[in-house]
Amino acid sequence: MHVRRLTSTDAMAYAKRLRHRPFLALLDSAMKHPMLGRYSVVTCDPFGLFQVQDGRAFWNGAAVEGDPLSVLRKLLALYPQDTREDLPPFQGGAVGFITYEFGSVLEEVPRLRDGDDPPQLQLGFYDVAIAVDHVQGRAWLISTGWPEQDEAERSDRARSRADQFETWLGSPDRVPAPHEARPCDGGFLWHSNFDPGSYRAAVRQVTEYILAGDIFQANIAQRFRASCPAAFDPLAFYERLRAVNAAPFAAFLDCDGFAITSSSPERFLSAKGGRVEARPIKGTAPRSRDPAEDARALHALLASEKDRAENVMIVDLLRNDMSRVCRPHSVEVPVLCGAESYASVHHLVSAVTGVLAPGKDAIHLLAACFPGGSVTGAPKVRAMQIIAEIERAARGVYCGAIGYIGFDGTMDTNIAIRTVTFQGGQATIHSGGGVTLLSDPEAEYQETLTKVQRIFAAFEAVPGERTA
């Protein structure tokens, strides 16, 4: 491994310098926090691409036989790497996304399709990364030398690739034309696959399933879609999004034909040194500019029987999922229904931790817990079946995960909420909420609008009445 110190800690500036390199990825602690928002990663130009399409694994476009996650484990094992404790946790590895529909590979649930769907899973294998520590105020260029297997050749490659990245970083930005520089050029007409009445009816349908004993809760989302103006710039949009809706688990991915932006506040799973954590969010209240009203909204959220019950059910689901791969009695809940505040909402957030059992790794953890219970419901499989029946639209990256699995076995991923996908000249956003027996249909509908309002603000659009 070859490591160089960098002078700037501006992850967004690095991403803009590398924007024309293939498969740019920015894992962005746009909302900085000493624990949850400490690190950012910028990388590009992977030496390999792992994808899952229709349940089949592909490596650099060639089909590979076997269970997709087992194939992924074998590929990562080709590039073993020890962790350097003096550096940020990502030191080279696989970065990308897992769609919600990957759940149909793991469980007996319907897979919905939505035209030109993205791969169910896509991870670039990156040998070079820029890692930023916002607490220390330091940044490093880390070059691993992979995929060279000979030690001397790997050392040579590590240095030459570091030189290459420094050349790219030192090149002046291409100055966009004025219309390119704007993230949005004109208004956006958003359409939803639900109108207000049909969404309220969907909430009532879920409560009927709860009364029938099928589930305890389910997360129901509506999908918003709009056409993008010509020359729309997803990276410029992301820069605006991170300014108006900063989040600790934000991301931008350029995926060769489509792009993903996320301002997620929610960690799905992290793993390092055998210790694992999930931080499910359940319970939301809109914020107010009036400090007194804002405080009352937070107090009401903390006192809400419905929101607390919703959170506790998902905590129990995660405890069960994590216990499948963790040491007996190691799964704990150090935080239950704690409060976290973001630009437009307050959330109830819990933390579930554990220690991986011998022979288990981050990929076993992913298989045991995906998709996250906070975006499905409980019991998970039946909730996912009901979601497919009611939503009738593929979620894509929304409610999947974005993040990394390092060559050293570390992992950190978000729950891909507050996420926009740009493909085929269209922007797609989903927003949903957990439905329990105590849910009020109108309140649930309004919650979906509250969660998405900052994303619409980044588009410089104010949503009005939705049309199907």
Give pLDDT, residue 460: 75
Q: Comparing 96-110, 181-195, 432-446, which segment has the lowest mean pLDDT?
A: 181-195
Distance (Å, whole) CA 113 – CA 466 = 23
User: What residue type is assigned to position 139 of the chain?
Assistant: A
Give yes or no for residue 182 having a pLDDT over 90.
Answer: no
* CA atoms in the 13 A half-sphere facing the CB of 7: 3
How far is C-alpha 261 from the geometric centre of its chain's CA atoms?
A: 9
Instruction: Tell me the pLDDT tens digit for each residue of 160-180.
Output: 999 999 999 997 655 444 334
Instruction: Tell me the pLDDT tens digit for each residue of 297-315.
Output: 999 999 999 899 989 999 9
Distance (Å, whole) CA 216 – CA 9 = 45
Q: Comparing 169-173, 332-336, 361-365, 393-397, which segment has the lowest mean pLDDT?
A: 169-173
Enumerate the H helices of 263-304 as residue ranges. Answer: 291-303
pLDDT band at 89 (very low <50, low <70, confident <90, very high): very high
Give pLDDT, residue 172: 63
Give pLDDT, residue 179: 37
Mean pLDDT over residues 27-51, rounded? Answer: 94
Establish whether the linkage from the previous residue to 147 is cis, with ω within 30° of 0.
Answer: yes
Distances (CA, A) of 221 to 187, 203, 262, 342, 358: 24, 10, 16, 20, 38
| Triad 363, 364, 366: Cα angle to 5° | 60
What is the residue-averaged pLDDT of the chain?
92
Which residue, chain included where needed, has tokens 């799973």? 269
Residue 118: closest CA among 43, 22, 29, 49: 49
Instruction: Tell me the pLDDT tens digit for each residue of 367-397.
Output: 999 999 999 999 999 999 999 999 999 999 9
Distance (Å, whole) CA 218 – CA 80 = 40
Distance (Å, whole) CA 375 – CA 314 = 9
User: What residue type is assigned to position 229 of the chain?
Assistant: P
Distance (Å, whole) CA 224 – CA 440 = 22
Mean pLDDT over residues 130-137, rounded? Answer: 97
Query: Is 266 labeled as catalytic in the residue annotation?
Result: yes
Distance (Å, whole) CA 434 – CA 221 = 9
Give yes or no for residue 18 having a pLDDT over 80.
Answer: yes
| pTM of the full structure | 0.93
Distance (Å, whole) CA 162 – CA 384 = 45
pLDDT band at 461 (very low <50, low <70, confident <90, very high): very low
Which residue, chain included where needed, has tokens 């894992």? 27
Distance (Å, whole) CA 351 – CA 279 = 4
Give pLDDT, residue 462: 35
The neighbouring-strand residues paired with 97 are: 122, 402
Instruction: Tell me the pLDDT tens digit for each residue of 411-457.
Output: 999 999 999 999 999 999 999 999 999 999 999 999 999 999 989 98
Mean pLDDT over residues 244-249, rounded? Answer: 94
Enumerate the H helices of 91-141 as residue ranges. Answer: 103-106
Distance (Å, whole) CA 468 – CA 198 = 10
Give pLDDT, residue 171: 72
Q: Which of 16, 101, 239, 266 is catalytic?
A: 266
Contact between 88 and 132 (Cβ < 8 Å)? yes
The neighbouring-strand residues paired with 133 are: 39, 138
State the pairing for strand pair 39-43/25-28. Answer: antiparallel
SS (H, E, C) 414-427: EECCCEEEEECCEE
Give pLDDT, residue 117: 85
Percent of the chain with pLDDT over 70: 95
Mean pLDDT over residues 4-14, rounded? Answer: 96
> What is the secondary structure of 54-83 as a DSSP string?
TTEEEETTEEE-S-HHHHHHHHHHTS----
Give pLDDT, residue 283: 87
Residue 253: closest CA among 143, 460, 404: 404
Mean pLDDT over residues 194-217, rounded? Answer: 96
Q: Which of 282, 360, 380, 451 is catalytic?
A: 282
Distance (Å, whole) CA 147 – CA 56 = 23
Residue 87: closest CA among 15, 151, 24, 4: 4
- The count of other CB atoms within 10 Å of the CB of residue 344 is 18
Distance (Å, whole) CA 455 – CA 238 = 10
Give pLDDT, residue 181: 37
Contact between 107 and 380 (Cβ < 8 Å)? yes
Distance (Å, whole) CA 130 – CA 40 = 8
Mean pLDDT over residues 21-43, rounded? Answer: 94
Distance (Å, whole) CA 356 – CA 377 = 24
Distance (Å, whole) CA 376 – CA 321 = 13
Instruction: Tell me the pLDDT tens digit for each residue of 39-50.
Output: 999 999 999 999
Give pLDDT, residue 122: 98
Percent of the chain with pLDDT over 90: 84
Torsion of CA 230, 233, 234, 240, to 10 degrees: -120
Q: Is the dihedral of CA 107, 110, 113, 114 positive or negative?
A: negative
